[in-house]
């Protein structure tokens, strides 16, 4: 049975919850600008409250953003902490977003509803703080994919080779324990198949036709990322999707993709930063329902500094039509998705492309060849429209050499002068020649008669 105190015990007394939902480089005990609204004065503070033995937030500029981590999550999600039903939803949201490895469908919640004085009202049970996360014991019995199971995957374009590459298995049975330590066993049937995403020290169970679709065995990694091991060393585009099935569907159509535990899970910036060196484009491709749209917008904002962009699929957002798997299921092709992505890039970089347009080479109208102005033995040194640099140590005669070049440009064609072995193109149009020698004094310039 899980209650408010138990959840605090798993999130460092609520500090981990604040770190997840409050973006920025804030520090405990220091005032900062509240990023949840257009705060103009740094009067927000996260501190440890010894009385409640938990972390709380106080915003002197907007007191509606003051309270413990449950109050803040409720404020962000539009839920009321004093409403038992909403409070359960807040707990489930935190469990999902922070990947606490707790079955969110477990209805054994004791909800302590706080009164205005801060004292709990109603019955609560004193449950000791849980010990650190332990691996759930489990065992599985694999079986060959049945025809009906393969039909399920094929509707998304997923083949048996893709399933093998990503270590996806068909399970005949799955044994494990619930949160109270009671053992249970699940059997696969034609109407309720069981698939397993196998990791090194864990397994994630996927039951697409069951009420409880996801279960876990072993110890789920803190930064769970499906598809990471299958990525190439270098690539053009990487998609971040909302689930494993979407990763498999994209892979089956020739695209690189990964996903985290859920759309609302925290995306570690350390992983994205490393991937940004390997892929030119990293694109969020989440579901088009409200949860997916809100999550992708949030992640796009948090990862903007790493160049992560957001692509919204042209889908209705219904249960039958909301993700990239459904996109292929309804008959869309790889070429259609590729064109959708190209249009997305064209729109994204339209301003940049407009600026670069004049720099393109028109092969039907080649540019005018630059005229050679200064040369030695027919080897061009200076051409029209380019820069010529003359370097050398102090006192090596740079100014004298430049003087010979200047003389060659302003000479009368009738007279020949010594330009120190340099051929100077005649200045037939008598154009002005400007010399700025910042190393010579006024007297030296006067004597040089330039």
Q: Between 207 and 421, where is the model more confident?
A: 207
Q: Per-residue pLDDT tens for 82-102?
A: 888 888 888 888 888 887 766
**In whole angstroms, what is the distance from residue 294 CA to residue 93 CA?**
14
Rounded to 5°, the CA angle 36-291-44 comes to: 10
Q: Between 34 and 127, where is the model more confident?
A: 34
Q: Which two tokens stand for residue 41?
A: 């004065």
Query: How much is the pLDDT for 61?
Result: 83
Mean pLDDT check: name the lowest of 82-91, 310-319, 371-380, 409-418.
409-418
Residues 6+ apart with CB under 8 A from 59: 34, 39, 43, 44, 45, 65, 66
Q: How confident is the model at residue 126 (pLDDT cuts 50, 70, 90)?
A: very low
Q: How confident is the model at residue 133 (pLDDT cuts 50, 70, 90)?
A: low
**In whole angstroms, what is the distance from residue 307 CA to residue 299 CA?**
11
Residue 136 β-bridge partners: 218
Residue 26, pLDDT > 70, answer yes
Query: How much is the pLDDT for 282?
Result: 97
Q: Between 338 and 63, where is the model more confident?
A: 338
Residue 449, pLDDT > 70, answer no
Average pLDDT for 399-420: 77
Q: At what angle do helices 69-77 and 84-97 cross, to 10 degrees?
A: 90
Maximum C-alpha span of the chain: 111
Q: How confident is the model at residue 189 (pLDDT cuts 50, 70, 90)?
A: very high
Average pLDDT for 136-155: 96
**In whole angstroms, what is the distance from residue 324 CA to residue 247 CA?**
9
Q: How confident is the model at residue 448 (pLDDT cuts 50, 70, 90)?
A: low
Residue 110, pLDDT > 50, answer no
User: Whole-number mean pLDDT of the chain?
Assistant: 85
Residue 182: CB atoms within 10 Å: 7
Query: How much is the pLDDT for 413?
Result: 62
Query: How much is the pLDDT for 132?
Result: 55
Q: Do the Cβ atoms of 403 and 450 come closer than 8 Å?
A: yes
**In whole angstroms, what is the distance from residue 373 CA to residue 426 CA?**
8
Global pTM? Answer: 0.57
**In whole angstroms, what is the distance from residue 207 CA to residue 276 CA?**
33
Query: How much is the pLDDT for 123?
Result: 35
Query: How much is the pLDDT for 233?
Result: 94
Average pLDDT for 247-266: 93
Q: Per-residue pLDDT tens for 336-366?
A: 999 999 999 988 888 777 877 777 777 888 8
Query: How much is the pLDDT for 204?
Result: 95
Rounded to 5°, the CA angle 260-94-8 comes to: 125
Average pLDDT for 132-141: 84
């Amino acid at each position: 049975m899980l209650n408010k105190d138990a959840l605090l015990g798993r999130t460092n007394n609520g500090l981990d919850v604040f770190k997840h939902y409050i973006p920025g480089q804030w520090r405990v005990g220091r005032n900062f600008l509240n990023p949840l609204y257009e705060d103009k004065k740094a009067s927000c503070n996260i501190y440890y409250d010894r009385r409640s033995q938990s972390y709380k937030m106080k915003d002197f500029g907007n007191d509606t953003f003051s309270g413990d981590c449950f109050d803040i999550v409720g404020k962000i999600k539009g839920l009321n902490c004093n409403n038992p039903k909403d409070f359960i939803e807040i707990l489930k949201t935190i469990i999902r977003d922070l990947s606490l490895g707790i079955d969110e469908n477990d209805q054994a919640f004791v909800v302590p509803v706080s009164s205005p004085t801060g004292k709990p009202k109603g019955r609560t049970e004193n449950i000791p703080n849980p010990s650190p996360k332990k691996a759930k014991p489990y065992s599985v019995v694999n079986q060959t994919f049945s025809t009906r199971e393969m039909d399920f995957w094929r509707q998304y374009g997923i083949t048996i080779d893709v399933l093998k590459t990503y270590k996806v298995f068909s399970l005949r049975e799955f044994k494990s324990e619930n949160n109270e330590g009671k053992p249970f066993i699940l059997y696969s049937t034609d109407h309720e198949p069981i698939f397993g995403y196998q990791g090194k020290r864990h397994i994630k169970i996927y039951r697409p036709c069951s009420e409880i679709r996801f279960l876990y065995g072993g110890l789920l990694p803190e930064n769970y990322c499906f598809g990471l091991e299958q990525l190439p060393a270098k690539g053009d585009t990487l998609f971040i999707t909302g689930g494993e099935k979407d990763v498999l569907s994209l892979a089956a159509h020739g695209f690189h993709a990964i996903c985290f535990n859920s759309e609302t899970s925290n995306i570690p910036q350390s992983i994205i930063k490393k991937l940004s060196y390997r892929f030119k484009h990293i694109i969020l491709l989440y579901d088009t329902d409200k949860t997916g749209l809100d999550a992708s917008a949030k992640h796009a904002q948090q990862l903007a500094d790493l160049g992560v962009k957001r692509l919204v699929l042209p889908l209705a957002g219904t249960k039958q039509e909301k993700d990239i798997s459904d996109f292929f299921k309804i008959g869309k092709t790889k070429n259609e998705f590729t064109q959708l992505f190209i249009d997305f890039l064209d729109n994204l970089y339209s301003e940049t492309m407009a600026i670069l347009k004049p720099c393109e080479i028109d092969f039907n109208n080649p540019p005018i060849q630059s005229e050679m102005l200064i040369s030695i033995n027919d080897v061009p040194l200076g051409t029209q429209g380019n820069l010529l640099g003359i370097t050398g140590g102090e006192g090596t005669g740079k100014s004298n050499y430049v003087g010979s070049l200047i003389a060659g440009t302003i000479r009368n064609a009738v007279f020949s002068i010594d330009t120190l072995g340099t051929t100077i193109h005649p200045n037939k149009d008598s154009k002005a020649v400007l010399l700025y020698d910042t190393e010579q004094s006024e007297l030296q310039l006067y004597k040089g008669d330039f």
